[in-house]
Structure 1
Amino acid sequence: MSTWRVGREKPMQGNDTMDVFACMASRRSIRSFTAEAVTDAQVHAILEAGTMAPSAGNMQAREFVLVRSPLAKQAVADTSDAGITARGKVLTQTWIATADVIIVICYDPRRMGARYGEKGRTDMSKLDCMGVAQNMMLAVTALGLGTTCVIGFDAVALKHSLGIPAELTPMLLLPIGHPAAQGGPVFRLAPEELVRFTC
């Protein structure tokens, strides 16, 4: 496996006017995309952002599967879970296949497990992927693209459809493309409503 040092090459820049707080505030869950392609340079920048996420013991248990062909994207969508909301609305995830590229964030439980045992193979490996996903979603936003985090899918079926190696476990999907529409305002609780103790 090749390695590189952060800072050795100048990272690709997104929107220079967007600081990290503006990026977090403007990020939306995008599920509708145009036909415009995501460039290879943009994909590389998003992947690079993912590699910069923190990792327990720097074990870096994460690996990525890129999905770009229409057939493979449809196969991913076919493994996703439908659902029903509390109000009885039927949910489908067929929109996943309309993204220009899908990044499947996986983890190799052996890496964390080698240092941290069973907790490393399970909880810590999964948490490692969540930091990666957040970095990638912010990079997507900074590049003027759109995505959302998808965790509702059949991991066994996904591995079979994409030929993902047995040692990897798919954790989540990031369908990425140019937004067909910008998301509206979102509701978030204020920090004061979430802090229970102060010292």
Structure 2
Amino acid sequence: MSKAIKHKIIDLNNKVKEDIDLPGFIFSTDIKQEIVAKVINWQLANKRQGSHKVKERNEVVGSNAKIYKQKGTGRARHGSKKVVQFKGGGVVHGPKVRSHNKKIPSKLKKQAIRILLSSKLKEGKLKIIDKLELKNIKTKEVKNKFDKLGIKSATFIEGTEINKNFLLSTRNLKEIDLLSVKGLNAYQIIKRDILIVSLSAVKEVVKRFGNE
């Protein structure tokens, strides 16, 4: 079993509060990019609508009668104007409505999360903050705090309850995302540069991703 890793806990003013032991199974796992790529591709595929479609001949509205008589016109013989060679006619082998949803084992999804958490920690892009809480709703104030922390692009992870003031203060900031551990996914981790996890969220992460 991997050894625990010591990591400092800071507050929103960038003051060190204490150290925490992070379980190595979650935060020091082997970096396997092929697993991450597989899970990310699965997520992106599931986001696709699959609603693109063209009309086939039988779906085009119009008469099925011949556009002109069979003989005597000097022109090629044709049937309905809904055939594919005429403008406004049906389309052959065009795109159809289909689902892009794929299935992937939950074990693999958990493993991808552990790999990305370990990767962020290794790169020095994982910060643990004691509380993601604000007394007032002030976007300018919270942006100044982020600037002092060197945060421009970040995903904030909170435990089970998200502080309303923090949510409202950050929702208009570009490249800042806030979600609970329940909504944590591989794509969201790589979407932003820095990953910031509250102390309560760390405990939830251990519960959720601490086993296979």
Q: Which has the larger radius of gyration?
A: 2
TM-score (norm 1): 0.25
